[in-house]
């Protein structure tokens, strides 16, 4: 299988982390969807990354579907609980929260890239506030736990670290570490994982 993406996309990072943590053999191809000749447009009608192309050419999208599909391929480790409905919901909710942070951060980033005269301050404020509230919620849920959910790593941790890396990249002025030292300590531990180091190395 091959994963199409770019190194800055937080959704792609999440998908990559899942594949890497589960040691699933794949090829990672950098393929910005807007570049002429991109395979993404042919594979995914939405022309978005990540797009996971299976050996029979089936295209899997979007990142929550890729994560769920990849997680079903082996048990080492199980990243989305399978038998405990509440635990499963909580992991998926963490993913939704992290994806929502990514969504709002992307909106802010795109808005500030517009010429100053055509920027809409209310959009920037609304989405920055959503990120700020979501981070406070994450910090409250994490507390002093080692992992976001349960006794071992899960998709929740991989989704959250992807969102936070994107904030560092695009909205460093948010300075989330100062507001949430527990998230900062958890992030340091996550950053030591080979999977995270691999996605940051390129
Ligand atoms: N909900 C989707 C979001 C994917 C998404 O929006 N990806 C962006 C890159 S960060 C994209 O491909 N945008 C289209 C473009 O750049 O042309 C997912 O989780 O995979």
Q: What is the pLDDT of residue 41?
A: 95
Helix (H) or strand (E) holding 69: helix 63-73
Same domain, 46 and 97: no
Mean pLDDT of the chain: 98
Same domain, 111 and 177: yes
Q: What is the pLDDT of residue 176?
A: 98
**62 alpha carbon – ligand 1 mean position (Å):** 8
Is 117 within a domain? yes
Atom of ligand 1 nearest to the CA of 62: 20
Q: Which structural domain range is residue 23 located in?
A: 2-73
* Domain limit, last residue, from 44, 73, 102: 73
pLDDT > 70: what percent of the chain?
100
Band (pLDDT 50/70/90 cuts) for residue 103 is very high
Q: How many domains does the chain have?
A: 2
Atom of ligand 1 nearest to the CA of 50: 20
What's the CA angle centered on 13, arms 7 and 18, to 5 degrees? Answer: 140
Is 93 within a domain? yes
pLDDT per residue over 47-92, tens digit each? 999 999 999 999 999 999 999 999 999 999 999 999 999 999 999 9
Same domain, 35 and 100: no
Same domain, 56 and 95: no
Same domain, 133 and 54: no
Whether 111 is in the pocket of ligand 1, judged by its Cβ within 6 Å, is no
Same domain, 105 and 54: no
For residue 186, what is the domain's CATH number?
1.20.1050.10
- For residues 150-159, give the mean pLDDT: 98
Is 200 within a domain? no
pLDDT per residue over 106-142, tens digit each? 999 999 999 999 999 999 999 999 999 999 999 999 9
**10 alpha carbon – ligand 1 mean position (Å):** 9
Q: What is the pLDDT of residue 54?
A: 98
Is 8 within a domain? yes
For residue 37, what is the domain's CATH number?
3.40.30.10
Whether 5 is in the pocket of ligand 1, judged by its Cβ within 6 Å, is no
Is 63 within a domain? yes
For the record, the structure tokens of 142 come out as 């994490």
Is 78 within a domain? no
Same domain, 65 and 97: no
Which residue has the least CA distance to atom 14 on ligand 1?
A: 48
With 0-12 / 13-18 / 19 or more C-beta atoms within 10 angstroms meaning exposed / middle / buried, residue 197 is: exposed
Q: What is the pLDDT of residue 202?
A: 76
Same domain, 96 and 173: yes
């Amino acid at each position: 299988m091959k994963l199409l993406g770019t190194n800055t996309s937080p959704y792609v990072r999440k998908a990559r982390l899942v594949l890497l943590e589960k040691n699933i053999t794949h090829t990672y191809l950098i393929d910005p969807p807007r570049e002429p000749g991109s395979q993404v447009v042919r594979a995914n009608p939405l022309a978005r990354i990540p797009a996971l192309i299976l050996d029979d050419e089936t295209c899997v999208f979007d990142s929550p579907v890729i994560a769920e599909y990849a997680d079903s391929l082996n048990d080492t480790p199980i990243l989305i609980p399978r038998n405990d409905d509440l635990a499963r919901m909580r992991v998926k909710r963490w993913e939704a929260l992290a994806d929502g942070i990514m969504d709002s951060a992307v909106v802010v980033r795109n808005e500030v890239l517009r010429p100053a005269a055509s920027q809409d301050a209310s959009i920037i404020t609304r989405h920055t506030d959503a990120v700020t509230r979501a981070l406070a919620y994450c910090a409250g849920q994490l507390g002093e736990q080692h992992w976001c959910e349960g006794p071992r790593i899960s998709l929740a941790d991989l989704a959250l670290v992807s969102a936070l890396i994107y904030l560092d990249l695009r909205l460093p002025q948010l300075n989330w570490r100062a507001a949430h030292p527990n998230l900062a300590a958890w992030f340091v531990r996550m950053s030591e994982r080979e999977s995270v180091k691999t996605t940051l190395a390129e």
